[in-house]
Amino acid sequence: MSQHQARKRFGQHFLTDESVVEAIVRAVGPARDDRVIEIGPGLSALTRPLLERLDRLVAVEIDRDLAARLRRQYPAERLEVVEADALTVDFGAFGEGLRVVGNLPYNISSPLLFHLMAAAEHVRDQHFMLQREVIDRMVAEPGGADYGRLSVMLQSRYRMEKLFDVPPEAFDPPPRVVSAVVRMVPLPAERRRPRSDAAFERVVAQAFSQRRKMLRRVLADWAAHVPWEALGIAPTARAEEVPVAGFIGLADALVEAGVLQG
């Protein structure tokens, strides 16, 4: 079979290191009847070992040539190939208890993570390989330079754990960055959640728009309506010092005050 050339526009870097593949599959630990969706199967480095442990797998692949290759390699009753951009796929339509895995293209990793949040109630867990720098931001705690909008938004919905690093030489072509693998488990229905997701998103985006400034200045238009002391947010606090619960409290206060739409 002819060798597939990695395509820059799809951010393709194909995983070739068997020990890394084994470590990812071991971390996922699939059972035969699990409902697993793989994003960006590429040359099927993960697809093959996953199918050895599963009755059936769904793969989402944007590259037409790779999608055709996958259909030739595996019977349709074992592997369903969805030829589409993962950013346009309604993952909630696949049912309940989904386990989502993938070596995500670095050029769409953040938008894709936000897109998947919409289907989080249908998901059991997610295991992704991403740029290590992105994962460090995902799991960052308040007070550090890595803590930002991505940290707050994802931590409001998932419990996340960085599992291990993956060196550039594990891929062909090797990326210019170190990768890592993350496990994401949606938080339960009884988690603390904002009254309005839209208001929460808006507050978090605004708060980190000028992260070097004090939060009260960045949110100056709304500051008078916020019970800062009751929320435990110091007058001099910057966005990076405020925990997820603090941002939920901020958004809720602004919704209650009628400043933001509920």
Q: pLDDT, tens digit, for every residue of 83-142?
A: 999 999 999 999 999 999 999 888 889 999 999 999 999 999 999 999 999 999 999 999
pLDDT for position 62 = 93
Binned at pLDDT 50, 70 and 90, residue 197 comes out as: very high
Angle at 248 between CA 90 and CA 135, to 5 degrees: 55
Interval 186-214 mean pLDDT = 96
Give the confidence band of 13 by pLDDT, cuts at 50, 70, 90: confident
Ranges in the chain annotated CATH 3.40.50.150: 8-186
CA-CA distances (angstroms) from residue 108 to 35, 61, 87, 159, 175? 24, 14, 8, 21, 15
Residue 178 pLDDT > 70: yes
* Fold category of 8-186 in CATH: Rossmann fold (3.40.50)
Instruction: Please tell me what DSSP assigns to residue 223.
Output: G
CATH of domain 197-256: 1.10.8.100
Tell me the pTM: 0.92
DSSP 98-122: EEEEEE--GGGHHHHHHHHHTTGGG
Tell me the DSSP string of 36-100. Answer: EEEE--TTTTTHHHHHHH-S-EEEEE--HHHHHHHHHHS-TTTEEEEES-GGG--GGGG-SSEEE
Say what percent of the chain tops pLDDT 70. 95
Q: Which secondary structure element, helix H or strand E, spans residue 130, and what is its range? A: strand 123-131
pLDDT at 104: 87
pLDDT interval class at 12 (50, 70, 90)? low
Residue spans in the chain of domains classed CATH 1.10.8.100: 197-256
Helix (H) or strand (E) holding 28: helix 18-28
Residue-wise pLDDT for 26-73, tens only, equals: 999 999 999 999 999 989 999 999 999 999 999 999 999 999 999 999
Task: Output the average pLDDT for the chain.
Answer: 94
What mean pLDDT comes out for the span 217-221? 97
